[in-house]
Copies of this chain bind each other. A is one copy, B any other.
Amino acid sequence: MDMDKRKTAPVGVFDSGVGGLTVAREIMRQLPDENIVYFGDTARVPYGSKSKENIIRFSRQIIRFLETKNVKAIVIACNTASALALDVVKQEFNIPIIGVIVPGARAAVRETRNKKIGVVGTEGTIHSEMYTKVIQGMEPGASVIGKPCPLFVPLVEEGFAKHHITDEVIEIYLEEMKHSDVDTMILGCTHYPLLRSKIMAYFGEKVHIVNPAYETALDLKRVLEEQGTANDSGNLNKYEFYVSDAAEKFKQFANSILPYNVETITQINIEEY
């Protein structure tokens, strides 16, 4: 590909389902000139309770699909896949791939005053201890408390994000964290920003809540600038959405999250890639 074509090439963004749209939204805000191809693996959602082996296989298939769209970089907008598959797929594909964990960890290290950081996420993310490893690599004196919250994803996916039942589930999972001395907590799953106001209300002002999406978009910007592929063509940007199942449900969700009217969602068979 010549340089001009690479500049106008889209960025690939993927997640197990709708959660990664919170990252896509941040990329749209911070990099408004970039084209995006988004893939949500709605046939195999959720990822959080599945094994490393399968998450790596799913990620490889999705990256092969995104390569057919000639993407110039890929954002794994899913904490579970960032924790379990990023290191492997980075070795295998000849394209820049960034995850959400390093950016999230960096923001938390910057914000904390007492070096006590909490992380909430899926079982896969928390049990991988990837946030702990990355945070302690940046700040060896930091201590990290992780807590898996497996019901948060279904609560969001099933439309309970604003429901009082979610307040109770937040209390069940996070009571111990609230009474610990963490001063910074990472929303280590891309669905969780959709529960952010409730989580912030539960913790009050003493805990700083980090959403890795913001920092991830900054990382993407840096990568595109370094490789000279940021889009400066001034063309209208284009967003394309693909899912592996239930396009209509995804569309409704996307339109409730994105500052943009999503009209077409295309369903593909991801197992063919």
Binding site for B on A (CB under 8 A): 42-44, 49-51, 54, 57, 150-151, 154-155, 157-158, 160, 163, 165, 168-169, 172, 244-246, 249, 267, 269, 271
The listed residue (B50, B157, B246, B271) touching A271 by CB distance below 8 A is: B271
Q: List 19 A-B contacts (CB under 8 A).
A: A42-B50, A43-B44, A49-B157, A49-B246, A49-B249, A50-B245, A50-B246, A51-B245, A51-B246, A51-B267, A54-B244, A54-B245, A150-B154, A151-B155, A151-B158, A151-B160, A163-B172, A165-B165, A165-B169
Contact partners of A157 in chain B: CB under 8 A: 49
Q: What distance in Å separates the Cβ of A35 from its nearest Cβ neighbour in chain B? A: 28
Bound-state Cα–Cα, A246 to B54, Å: 9
A50 near B54: Cβ-Cβ < 8 Å: no
Bound-state Cα–Cα, A168 to B166, Å: 11
Contact partners of A43 in chain B: CB under 8 A: 44, 50, 54
Q: What distance in Å separates the Cβ of A18 from its nearest Cβ neighbour in chain B? A: 12
Contact partners of A168 in chain B: CB under 8 A: 165, 168
Q: Which single residue of chain B is at the shortest CB-CB distance from A248?
A: B51
Bound-state Cα–Cα, A57 to B158, Å: 24
Q: Which single residue of chain B is at the shortest CB-CB distance from A244?
A: B54
Bound-state Cα–Cα, A43 to B246, Å: 17
Contact partners of A269 in chain B: CB under 8 A: 57
Contact partners of A244 in chain B: CB under 8 A: 54
Bound-state Cα–Cα, A168 to B249, Å: 25
Q: What distance in Å separates the Cβ of A48 from its nearest Cβ neighbour in chain B? A: 10
Tell me which of A151, A155, A163 has the highest count of chain B C-beta atoms within 10 A of its own C-beta.
A151
Q: What distance in Å separates the Cβ of A142 from its nearest Cβ neighbour in chain B? A: 29
Q: What distance in Å separates the Cβ of A147 from its nearest Cβ neighbour in chain B? A: 14
Q: What distance in Å separates the Cβ of A168 from its nearest Cβ neighbour in chain B? A: 6
